[in-house]
Amino acid sequence: MTEPNATTPEIPVIDLGAFLAGEPGAAEATAAKLRETCETVGFMYISNHGVPQELIDRTFATAAAFHAQPIEKKMELMVDKAMQGYLPIRGSTSRASAIVTNPEPNENEAFFIKREGKDAEESNRWPDLPGFRESALAYYAALETLAQKMLPLYALALDLPADYFAEKCDAPFSTLRLSHYPPVKAYAENQFGIAPHTDSTFLTLLAQNKVQGLQIRRQDGVWIDAPVIEGTFIVNTGDILNRWTNGRFLSTPHRAFNVSDQPRYAIPYFFHPNANTLVECLPSCAIEGEAPRFPAQTTAEYMAWFRGRNYDHLRKAEPAIAAE
Ligand SMILES: O=C(O)CCC(=O)C(=O)O
Ligand SMILES: [Fe+2]
C-alpha cells in the first residue's frame, strides 16, 4: 500500500486505561483525542479496554467452529428478515455506501447474532454446536458494556453532557458478525473479501485479527493498511453517528481482503442506539442558518432503509449484499 503522507494523520491509538479507571481529568483528555480522531480519520485503535484476551480468542474459535460446519448445516440457519443467521459466501454486495459502482459479491460468509431477550427484534437462530450460544453471547455482552462505557467520551467530544447518549443506547440494536474470509490468491477487478463500505453503526468494535487484511480510505482518497496491533480493538464511527453529528464525525470507508494462505476470521460488533432512538442533528453540530444535512430518523427506520439497500435481493433471490 502507498505510504501515508504528512497531510493526514495515521490511525491513532487511544489508551482508555486512565479513563476506565476513573482518573481525574482522564475523560476530558481522552474525549479530546477521540474528537480529533473522529473528525479527521474516523478510525482509531483502543488499548487497555478491559476485555479479556481469553474471551476474544474464544470468540475467534467460535467463529471458526461455526464456519467449519458442513454447508447444509449452515444453510439451515439462512438469514431471516431481521438479518439474523447465516449469510453464504458471495451472498452479499456492499451497495448502501456507493463507493464502488459495481462491486462483485463479497468473498466472505458470515453469521449474524443480534440482541437477545427483552427488546429483541426476532429470536436469534443458533447452530447445534456445544457452547456456541454461551460464548457468542458472552462476547456480545462484553462488547455492549465496553461500547456503553465509551459513550461519555463521545458525548464530551461533542460538548454534550457526559450521560447524553446513555438512555438512548441502553437497549442497543446491535449485531455481532462472525465472518470467514477464505484465502483468495488473486482478487479480480472489483472483487473483495468485503467491498468498500461504511458501517451503518454508531460505532463498530473490531477485535484484532491474526490475519491482517483491513484497509481504510483516508480523507485524501488513499487506501492504507490498518496494521494489527495486538491487544487493541479497532473502533470506527459509522453512518448513524455521522448523521447524528451532521457529518462532523466521519464514517470512513473500509474494505478487507484475505491474500494469506490461511482462513481469515473477523468478529466485528456493530453498536447501534436503541431501535426507537431518534437520530437527528445534535444541538452542538447544527450549522447556523443551514438545515441539517440528514433527515431525522429512528435507528429502526434507518436500519430498514440500510437493509433494504444491501440485503433485499436475498428475498428476491437475485445474486448479490453488505456489512451491518
Ligand atoms: O474484516 C474486517 O477486517 C472488517 C470487516 C468489516 O468491515 C465489516 O464486517 O463491516
Ligand atoms: Fe465494516
Q: What is the distance between the alpha carbons of residues 86 and 89, in angstroms, rounded to a whole number?
A: 10
Indicate which residue's Cα is closest to atom 9 of ligand 1: 323
Question: Which pLDDT value is given to residue 318?
Answer: 35
Question: Which pLDDT value is given to residue 163?
Answer: 98
Question: Which pLDDT value is given to residue 310?
Answer: 64
Ligand 1, atom nearest to 266 Cα = 1
Ligand 1, atom nearest to 268 Cα = 9
Give the residue among 153, 216, 207 at the shortest CA–CA distance from 176: 207
* Residue ranges of domains in the chain, CATH in brackets: 13-317 (2.60.120.330)
pLDDT exceeds 80 at position 4: no
More confident of the two residues 9 and 26: 26
Indicate which residue's Cα is closest to atom 8 of ligand 1: 323
Ligand 1 cavity residues, CB under 6 Å? 177, 179, 194, 199, 206, 209, 213-214, 254, 256, 266, 268, 323
Torsional sign, CA 93, 209, 176, 281: negative
Any bridge partners for residue 114, and if so which?
Answer: 175
Q: What is the distance between the alpha carbons of residues 62 and 79, in angstroms, rounded to a whole number?
A: 18
Q: Identify residues whose C-beta is under 5 A from ligand 2, the ion.
A: 199, 323
Query: Largest Cα–Cα distance of the chain, in whole Å?
Result: 58
Question: Which pLDDT value is given to residue 323?
Answer: 52
More confident of the two residues 8 and 129: 129
Task: Give the ligand whose atoms come closest to the C-alpha of residue 193.
Answer: 1
Question: Which pLDDT value is given to residue 320?
Answer: 36
Q: What is the distance between the alpha carbons of residues 31 and 44, in angstroms, rounded to a whole number?
A: 13
Ligand 1, atom nearest to 226 Cα = 3
Label residue 311 by pLDDT band (50, 70, 90).
low
Q: What is the distance between the alpha carbons of residues 324 and 87, in angstroms, rounded to a whole number?
A: 12
Task: Give the ligand whose atoms come closest to the C-alpha of residue 215.
Answer: 1
CA 280 – ligand 1 centroid, Å:
26
Ligand 1 pocket test: pick from 106, 214, 237 the residue with the most ligand atoms within 8 Å of its Cβ: 214
**Residue with grid cell 484484532, as numbered in its chain:** 208
Indicate which residue's Cα is closest to atom 10 of ligand 1: 323
Label residue 9 by pLDDT band (50, 70, 90).
low
Ligand 1, atom nearest to 254 Cα = 7
CA 267 – ligand 2 centroid, Å:
11
Task: Give the ligand whose atoms come closest to the C-alpha of residue 207.
Answer: 1
pLDDT tens column, 44-93 = 999 999 999 999 999 999 999 999 999 999 999 998 888 889 999 876 66
CA 177 – ligand 1 centroid, Å:
9
